Chains A and B, each alone.
Chain A
Amino acid sequence: MWLDLALILIVCLGVVILGSSRLGTMIQLFAAQSLVLSATPLLVHPGKHAVVMTMGTLILKVFLMPNLLSWAIRHVSIRREVQPLVGYGKTLMLGGFLMGVAFWISFRLELPVRETSNLLVPCAFSVVMVGFLLLVSRFKAITQVIGYLVMENGIFLFALLLLEKTPLLVEMGILLDIFVGVLIMGIVVNHINQEFGSASTVNLTNLRD
């Protein structure tokens, strides 16, 4: 029962991120979502393995990455998100529609999920969809990075299904990779900012045919 609550909370936080416009709040919301996320392995089946997972997510996604992002914001000195591709209201509506699609797909696929709750797969799908929508609809580079991270959270939810199966080494490798990915994105955002004076990807469109 606690697991379902956590899943719903993660999905709602995702939607709130989608709706928010100020970068600072978005980073804090992401940190909150990662916090709830790190709790879920313990809820599914507590054990030595789960503890390591929780600690890993806590260190990386709750402390390290948000600080990195906020450092990037201060460094790049942008506060407010410019109008997204289709306007806030419509993005939220689109988010809702995509969640509907996610639920419909996971229902149609009737994937055999064993002892964990049947809510897990749809929620994971919808968080991935929300992250993707965030990635697609925003112009600021930092927001796109946050969208990418929300999508990673969704993928992490799926990983819960096979918690004790995959060896630890692979788990850590995955987390490490995500971290390095975000690190490089941060560096590139830094370059964008130096070159274009603003971290918005609006003027990143002269490579076309």
Chain B
Amino acid sequence: MELFLLAGFPALMAAVVFLLRQDRLRKIILFLTSLVHLFVTISFWQGPRDVQFNPFLGFDAASQLVLTLVSILFFVVSIYLIGYLKEKRRRSNGIFMGCLLCLLSTMTLVTMSRHMGLLWIAIASTTLLSAPLINYYRKPRGIEATWKYLLISSLGIALGLLGTLFLAISAAPVKTIFLADILDNAALLSPSWLKLSVIFLLVGYGTKMGLAPMHTWKPDAYGEAPAPVGALMSGAVTACAFLAVCRVAQICFHAGLQRFVSPIFILLGILSMGIAAIFIMGQKDFNRMLGYSSVEHMGILALGIGLGGGAVWASLFHAVNNAFAKGLIFLVSGNLYQGFRSKKVENIQGVIHRFPVTGIFLILGFIVLIGFPPFGIFYSELLILKEAVTAQRYLAAFFYVLFLSVIFFGYSGVILRMALGRPTEDTPVTAKKENFFMIAPLVILLGVLFFSGVFVPGPFYDLLDEASALLGGR
């Protein structure tokens, strides 16, 4: 029954939404499905960690972690959408809502899939479903972003498919590529095919996750996508991609390829942070900067997995915090766009004094993104550095710290210049007051961030410990 509620129900609702006429009804359905989804996910927390519905679908600690993260974020975005889509639009948002609901079900599928082939299908469908979401405004730049997003991610998916095929070939003696079977008799896998498949999988799912050389679609896609879509993609979809990459790492750990794969992860991590550092510095467009910030945080995740040990725990912790932080900052950028009707940094000024609540949340978002203490990202960045220092990878630690400080230059240069000061006369400020639906999600996200960073509840700790044990960390 829960399986249907989690995966099937949203898809069904998507079909219903396609048929409906009025926009308001669609929004309510969206809100209700996300609420149901959230309740079911929470209900799984009490139950045992490893649940097996059928050979293809099941839960383990890591997937439950990502599923909770996805459903909380989706629920918050659904509330935000009620306020966001208020003003009238010529074209009905049927396709938009339908794709969103399908996206929810495919993301649930990704977390639940125990078969590598099924995992690939779910990832591929999340990509295809998010393409129309980016193109909501039908503006030339939006179309260009969608085209680039489609092309690059479909190349990534193709490479992922090749990787899965190579994995299947290497798992020939095992006869199936169920995750459980591969992990149990990992020794039987033929090493050379496995290495080839790991490389192709890493590049494929790395493109989906937005790691360095394959990140080029991210700034365009997040720059042009509407804010809630940006929040969902940067928070939830990348988390699912990260889960897929974790599965690959899990396989490598079980097959004893630790020494083979960790240099690749570290290279990807440092490269992503380097690229992000270059592009955040002096960025002109706020949403593009958030795209690069997502590249940076994915780099930190990859670096954490690469370093192993305590850093795996830290990168999972970071994934959770990053998802909520990205959600928060993207929704804030949505409010900014509603208020200032522009994404350019120079004509958004003095947000604190023009829209006090959004201004405060903008600064809080900055504090969370930068990794200031009360929130979780500070601890995860510190732990990753601790692991780098104890594992005596001084070069990686040096670059890690260097890029973190350059990125800090970039962020504070952009966000603080926007938040403080006074709105200049020519800033095109619409006389709109901030409406409730666009503030409530920010408050919820901040609350969740506060609990995931400062007073970390007990069960959340155990989930993290089990998930990191799964992936070969301490």
Contacts and interface: CB of A to CB of B under 8 A. Distances in A.
Interface of A: 109-112, 114, 128, 132, 135, 141, 144, 148, 151-152, 155, 158-159, 161-162, 165-167, 170, 173-174, 177, 180-181, 184-185, 188, 191-192, 195-196, 201, 204-207, 209
Contact of A161 (B117, B128, B165): B165
B251 to A, nearest CB: 17
Contacts of B144: 204-207
B161 interface: yes
Given A155-B158, A170-B115, A177 B143 contact: no
Main secondary structure of the interface of B (DSSP, over half): helix
A162 B121 contact: no
B277 to A, nearest CB: 13
A181 B154 CA distance: 8
Contact of A188 (B121, B143, B193): B143
Contacts of B420: none
A188 to B, nearest CB: 6
The 5 A-B pairs of least Cβ separation, nearest first, read A170-B117, A173-B121, A204-B144, A207-B220, A177-B124
B124 A207 contact: no
B131 interface: yes
B192 interface: yes
Contact of A166 (B177, B190, B220, B283): B177
A135 B151 contact: yes
Nearest to B124: A177
A-side interface mostly: helix
Contact of A207 (B131, B145, B177, B196): B145
B128 A180 contact: yes
A192 to B, nearest CB: 6
Contacts of A155: 158, 161-162, 165
A192 B131 CA distance: 14
A177 B121 contact: yes
What size tier do the contact residues of chain B reach?
Answer: 35 or more
A131 to B, nearest CB: 8
Nearest to A204: B144
Nearest to A131: B158
Residue picked from B144, B220, B223, most chain A C-beta under 10 Å: B144
A209 B279 contact: yes
A207 B154 CA distance: 19
Contacts of A207: 141, 144-145, 148, 219-220, 223-224
A112 B117 CA distance: 22
Contacts of A192: 143, 147
B128 A195 contact: no
Interface in B164-186: 165-166, 168-169, 172, 175-177
A87 to B, nearest CB: 22
A191 to B, nearest CB: 5
Nearest to A191: B143
Contacts of A128: 158, 162
A112 B158 contact: no
Contacts of A166: 117, 168, 177
A4 B66 CA distance: 46
B423 to A, nearest CB: 26
Given A174-B121, A192-B143, A207-B144, A158 B162 contact: yes
A144 B151 CA distance: 8
B169 A162 contact: yes
B150 interface: yes
Contacts of A112: 190, 192-193
10 contacts: A166-B117, A167-B176, A174-B117, A184-B131, A188-B131, A188-B135, A188-B150, A195-B143, A204-B144, A205-B144
A173 B166 CA distance: 17
